[in-house]
Amino acid sequence: MAVRRMLRGVIFDMDGTLTVPCLDFFEMRRRCGVTQGDLLVEIEKMSPAKKQAAIDVITEMETEAKEKMEIMPGAKDLCDFLDQRNIWRGLVTRNVSSSVDHLHRKMGITPFWPALARDFLPFKPDPAPLLHICEAWKVQPSEVMIVGDSARDDIVMGRVAGSYAVLIDTEQKYGPIESLPELQRPHYKVTSLAEVGHILQTKFELVPKEGVAERESAL
């Protein structure tokens, strides 16, 4: 019988993971004039006028997406599953804090903690956000799972940090795991959040968080 691996927390991406995909990133890149490279990184290299124009485009599109936000099927059930077992859950997104606040209201759950938005630098795929959350939880990266829909951002962040990585591919746009570049290869690839719950129950030993009251009262 396979030994279950110890897991103390789950970190989620937001857009396309906890919410149904509605941001057209190709259109966003087109309107911002960025055809290659990391969109946010390339915007920082622009002249002040072009940078502001690109920021205005992103703000407009993110505001529209926030108004249309739909929670991904199974998201609340998965969060309830973790809460019932007293397992840490956090969030890392390249979206803005106001969208994270809207997500919390829309889901009607205890907020993710920490919930890191675009104002936390450096943003993913740098492992810094994940490592920051691990430090806040007082756990090791190897005791944490990242769940996201971007192999380039979420999976790379998790793999570099040394965490378990789950790629949620609801639109089935990715090929087999072995077809991806090495750092973009998740430990698991799923098509729904319900499958994530199954993996947690069958592959891992979930370890409840300790000292929650003391840590959260210090925030």
Residues designated as active site: 13, 15
Distance CA 156, CA 179 (A): 15
Give the count of beta carbons closer than 10 Å to the beta carbon of residue 178: 7
Burial of 7 (0-12, 13-18, 19+ CB in 10 A): buried
Distance CA 53, CA 32 (A): 7
Pair of tokens at residue 85? 């077992």
Distance CA 52, CA 38 (A): 17
Q: How many CA atoms lie within 13 A of 134 on its CB side?
A: 20
